[in-house]
């Protein structure tokens, strides 16, 4: 029987920023014991963005700290402040970005698997 797994992001978070201006940690994915789900923790520096992309399955984001945005191509911009939750339906081209002056922190729940950049 599998054992519970405790993950402390602050202890495992990379020190260096990735090319998108964030420190990201995969908390739970197929590659680390998950099944059909991915849970990601990210700290985004001011102005950081991951650029437009589309997932093949729904994505869910929960904001923990700071101010972020989810920008839907051809549509709305959604403000992400602490304790804001957003559901992004599969096939929706969108961008995440830090819209504040300090660090923006979010946890995303997205399936493992490919996403496309338009």
**Whole-model pTM over 0.85:** no
DSSP string over 1-42: -PPP----HHHH--SS--TTSEEEEEEE-GGGT-SS-EEEEE
Closest-CA residue to 96 (of 78, 75, 74)? 78
- How far is Cα of residue 75 from the mean position of the Cα atoms in its chain? 20
Give the highest mean pLDDT range of 20-29, 81-90, 105-114.
Answer: 81-90
Residue spans of the domains in the chain: they are: 18-72
Higher pLDDT, 109 or 65: 65
Residue 108 has pLDDT above 60, yes or no: yes
Residue 103 has pLDDT above 80, yes or no: yes
Closest-CA residue to 57 (of 118, 2, 4, 109)? 109
Higher pLDDT, 74 or 26: 74
């Amino acid at each position: 029987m599998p054992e519970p797994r405790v993950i402390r992001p602050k202890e495992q978070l990379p020190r260096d920023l990735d090319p998108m201006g964030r420190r990201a940690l995969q908390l739970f994915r197929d590659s680390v014991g998950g099944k059909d789900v991915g849970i990601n923790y990210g700290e985004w520096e001011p102005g950081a963005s991951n650029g437009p992309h589309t997932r093949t399955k729904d994505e869910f984001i929960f904001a923990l700290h700071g101010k972020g945005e989810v920008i839907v191509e051809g549509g709305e911009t959604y403000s992400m402040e602490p304790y804001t939750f957003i559901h992004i339906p599969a096939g929706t081209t969108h961008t995440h970005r830090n819209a504040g002056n300090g660090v923006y922190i979010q946890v995303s729940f997205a399936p493992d698997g490919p996403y496309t950049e338009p």
